[in-house]
Every structure is written in structure tokens, then in C-alpha cells.
Amino acid sequence: MKLKFCGLTRKQDILAANAARPDYVGFVFADSRRRVTEEQAARLRAQLAPGIQAVGVFVNDEPERIAALVNAGVIDLVQLHGGENRAYLDRLRGMTGAQVLYAVRVGAYADIERVKDYPVEFLLLDASIKGVCGGSGHTFDWSLIGAVEKPYFLAGGLNESNLPLALRTGAYALDLSSGIETDSVKDETKMRRVAALVRGEQP
């Protein structure tokens, strides 16, 4: 199972990720306390170890801006959290061949079913919290997932305590943000322990 650490904002976060070796790290470009500018993301990406892919997180952003970040090598994958429609996806697809993670706020299996034919490589299943696009720190009822044809990232309130259960889902990857923080700051020790749990190693 793959691992993603999301919401990295500082050089220390990147160095901690380099040591823990997740498969992906996420830079949030949407409105959030974890938001980074394009310039900050470029500096962070330059310090990221080879082999770790960078994901840009967006909410209804301009496709041109997203494509520019991909083309500049700041991000490798695109994560969309705003319920973007098919026309938007088609427009983005015309500008970049980067893989896309499409976030679904899951309140029922029908929410997943509704987007099963969208032209994206991955779904990202997250909690459905009114007025919140993502990063809420809340889990959802994983029994609602059912059979998902596309590979999916499981997000929403993941931490060391519920990771053993999360590892038994059919997720392609686990996506953590608040679960690797202490007092709203990324915690190197938690990163290391989470990575070890996912790999079945001793922390």
C-alpha cells in the first residue's frame, strides 16, 4: 500500500518526509492553514528526495495555473477537491498529461458511483463535512466504500490508532495530514512511525 503525507509547508517537513520515504507528498494551493504559494512549493520541491512524487492540491483553480506548475516540475500529480465537473476535467486534460486524483466527499456509496466514469486515474475518498473541501481530520464510515473500480487514496482522519484498520481496506494509498501533526505542525516522529506501520516495519 502506498503512502502520502499531505500539507507540507516547511523545509523541516520535507527533510522529515525524505527520511520517512512516503510515496507522495502534498502541497496545498487551496485556501487552508496549510496553503503554500507557487514560490514556496518550488523551493520545497527542490529539496524533496528523488523518488517521492509531489501532488498539488487545488479547489476549482484555473487549469492554466495547474498545468504551469506541472510543466515547471513543481508537482507531478494533480489533486482536485472542489467537485470539478467533466468539462473542467476535459479542459485540464487538454493542457497536461499529469495523473489526476479526484476527491469524493463520501456520505453514501452513490457519491462514489456518481464519478466512477470521470477521466481520472485515482479517486480520493474523504469525509463529507459541510462547508469543508478536505483536511477536516474526520473519518467517514469506510463500509460505505463498497466495490471501487478505480484505485483510490483513503483520506480523512487517518492516524496511528486507526491505521491498522485502514490497512485492511482496498485502498491504493493512505493519505495523512493532521494524523502526522502535533499542535498543527508536522511531527517527524509521527511520520516515521506511520511509515513503519504501513510497511510492516518496526518504528
Residues recognised as catalytic: 6, 126
What does DSSP assign to residue 168? T
Neighbours of 199 (CB within 10 A): 11
What does DSSP assign to residue 94? T
Distance CA 86, CA 37 (A): 27
Grouping H, G, I as helix, E, B as strand and the rest as coil, residue 119 is: coil
Contact 36, 7 (CB under 8 A): no
What does DSSP assign to residue 52? P
